[in-house]
Amino acid sequence: MNNRLPGLHLKAEDFIPATAEEKESLVIMRDSVNFWRDGLRRLKKNRVAMVSLFFILLIMIFAYVLPSFWPYTYDQQIRTSENLSPFTYGEAELARIEAGEKVFPHICGTDKLGRDFAVRLMMGARISLTVGLVCAAIVLVIGALFGAIAGFAGGWVDNIMMRFTDIIYTIPDILLIIIMAMSLKPALEQLVTHKGFLWLQKLGPNMIAIFLVFALIYWVGMARITRSQVLILKESEYVTAARALGAGSARIIRKHLLTNCIGTLTVTTTLQIPSAIFTESYLSFLGIGVQVPMPSLGSLATDAVKGMNTYPYLLLFPAILISVIILVFNLFGDGLRDAFDPKLKD
């Protein structure tokens, strides 16, 4: 008889189990592109951002790794080697070379106290980077939490919290920073002599004052950005779903809202780093930055201003280094924003 039903065109072989080959062709070859992978792919294509990232890593090695291998330390004063220009040696060192010893060259010269300037630059970069990173972290924690709570709570809580940030926003920051740095310094100097606070001594009171100021003033921008993101996100279905499953507010903020604005948070935090370095070098230049003999790039530049006609390289090196650090962080932050900020997606 007829083994085909009219009109249906069914064949017997259609019902044979699929071979391994056929199954293979149906498996999705590529993993689905998630947020991070998508962003990273775009970041990798951005040549400027990748070069900046390379420089950031280079500067990090220069600041955090190299000083431990360097034959000089940042506060070591070498007699008769004061005010050397790059690649020259002092009297005592020349005598040692005569005697057949090997003396490591002063690549960037020495300062007026006979300290190797290259290692001081590294320490300076270390201080500046640390200030930048710690301040950005402080701003991120305070700003993101404050903004997320305000946005999530809504209503009068949001209103009061946002009016509070409005007031802080209008306060001229540099004025307050200078007054605070000056007035907190003696109080902190007393604090570090007490037991239990000795670890603070290593940082120096000025540095803590800078951190405090950032914690008090600079988080406002971050809070505003986070709040606006949370306002949008909290209306989404997965938040309703989480709520329906019985999740509390704290869990929703932590697990759903903050993780979903992580792109924006990363970008804003990265761009905060150069601005903190900028502020620190500015304060150091006014003489209220980190403690001597600790160098920061700003204080190295200040010290060099007095002798700049005779020893211009002492000014040039820290000046270039600050500018390069701020430049690469800015460029990298811009690249991150292009890659991760969905609003700017083409």
Partner 1 sequence: MGKYIVKRVGMGLLSIFVVATLTFFLMNMVPGGPFVAEKSISKAAQEALASKYGLDKPIMERYFTYITDFLKGDMGYSLRQRGRTVSDIIFSKFPVSAGLAGIAVAVALCVGIPLGCLSAYHRGKFGDRFIIVLATCGIAIPSFISSVVLLYTFGSKLNLLPTIGLNSFKAYIMPVTALAIYPSAYITRLMRSSLLDVMGQDYIRTAKAKGLAGFRVMFKHALRNAILPVVTYVGPMLAGLMTGSFIVEKIFTIPGLGREFVSSITNRDYTMIMGTTIILATLIIVANVVVDILYKVIDPRINLK
> Which range of residues in 113-121, 152-160, 241-249, 302-310 is near partner 1 by CB under 8 A?
302-310
Nearest CB to partner 1, comparing residues 25 and 309: 309
Residues of span 219-278 touching partner 1 by CB under 8 A: 274, 278
Does position 322 interact with partner 1 (CB under 8 A)? The reply is: yes
Quick one: tokens of 254? 């932590």
Does position 193 interact with partner 1 (CB under 8 A)? The reply is: no
Q: Which residues on neighbouring strands pair with residue 344, listed in sequence order?
A: none
Which residue, 315, 327, 338, is CA-closest to 59? 327
Which residue, 271, 282, 291, 273, is CA-closest to 177? 282
Q: Which of 18, 179, 250, 292 binds partner 1 (CB under 8 A)?
A: 179
Does position 184 interact with partner 1 (CB under 8 A)? The reply is: yes
Does position 323 interact with partner 1 (CB under 8 A)? The reply is: yes
Does position 47 interact with partner 1 (CB under 8 A)? The reply is: no
Nearest CB to partner 1, comparing residues 222 and 252: 222
> Which range of residues in 75-83, 111-119, 243-251, 311-319 is near partner 1 by CB under 8 A?
311-319
How far apart (Å, rounded) are the C-alpha atoms in residues 176 and 190? 22
Q: Which of 1, 8, 167, 245 binds partner 1 (CB under 8 A)?
A: 167
Residue type, 73: T
How long, in residues, is the chain? Answer: 346
How far apart (Å, rounded) are the C-alpha atoms in residues 186 and 329? 33
How far apart (Å, rounded) are the C-alpha atoms in residues 214 and 217? 5
How far apart (Å, rounded) are the C-alpha atoms in residues 14 and 140? 59
Binding residue count for partner 1, defined by CB under 8 A: 38
Q: Omega into 205 within 30° of 0, i.e. cis?
A: no
Q: Which of 83, 153, 286, 291 binds partner 1 (CB under 8 A)?
A: 286
Does position 180 interact with partner 1 (CB under 8 A)? The reply is: yes
How far apart (Å, rounded) are the C-alpha atoms in residues 250 and 331? 35
Does position 51 interact with partner 1 (CB under 8 A)? The reply is: no
> Which range of residues in 18-26, 31-39, 159-167, 246-254 is near partner 1 by CB under 8 A?
159-167
- CA–CA distance from 249 to each of 5, 153, 225, 257 (Å)? 61, 9, 20, 10
Does position 141 interact with partner 1 (CB under 8 A)? The reply is: no
How far apart (Å, rounded) are the C-alpha atoms in residues 107 and 75? 17
Residues that bind partner 1 (CB under 8 A): 163, 166-167, 170-172, 174-176, 178-180, 182-184, 186-187, 274, 278, 281-282, 285-286, 298, 301, 305, 308-309, 312, 315, 319, 322-324, 326-327, 330-331
